[in-house]
Amino acid sequence: MPVAESYLDPQTLASVGSLQLRARMIVEGIMNGQHRSPYQGFSIEFAQHRQYAPGDDIRHLDWKVFGRTDKLYLKQYQQETNLEMVIALDRSGSMNFSSDPGKTKTNWRKYDYGAALAVALSYLALQQQDRVGLQLFDEHVRDATRQSNTHEHWRSIVEILSHQAFGNTTEPDEAIGHGTDLNRVFEEILARQQQRSLIVLISDLFDDLDMLQQALAKAAHRRFDVIVLQILDPAEITFPYRSMADFVGLEGQGKITVHPTAIRKAYLEAFNEHLTQVQNITRKFRFDYLKMNTAQPLGPALSHFLARRNASVARQAARR
pLDDT at 258: 67
CA–CA gap between residue 253 and residue 289 (Å, rounded): 28
Q: How far is CA 249 from CA 70, 240, 276, 301, in A?
A: 66, 18, 23, 29
Residue 300: the pLDDT is 64
Is residue 306 packed enough to be buried (19+ CB in 10 Å), middle (13-18) or exposed (0-12)?
A: buried
**How high is the pLDDT of residue 122?**
86
Residues 251, 266: Cα–Cα separation, whole Å: 21
End-to-end CA distance of the chain: 44
Q: What is the pTM of this model?
A: 0.73
- The pLDDT of residue 82: 60
Helices (H) and strands (E) in the chain — how many of each? Answer: 12, 10
What is the rounded CA–CA span in Å between residue 25 and residue 120? 9
Q: Provide the residue ranges of all domains of the chain, joining segments of one domain with +.
A: 3-38+82-308, 44-79
* Residue range 3-38+82-308 in CATH 3.50.50.60: no
The helix or strand, by DSSP H or E, that contains position 90, with its residue range, turns out to be strand 84-90
Contact residues for 192 (Cβ-Cβ < 8 A; gap 6+):
144
| The pLDDT value given to residue 33 | 46
pLDDT at 36: 40
Radius of gyration from C-alpha coordinates of the chain: 21
Q: What is the mean pLDDT of each run of 10 residues along the chain (320 residues)?
A: 41 50 56 44 56 74 80 65 83 85 62 88 79 93 91 88 57 55 96 89 94 97 93 90 61 61 86 96 94 83 68 56
Q: How far is CA 125 from the centre of its chain?
A: 13
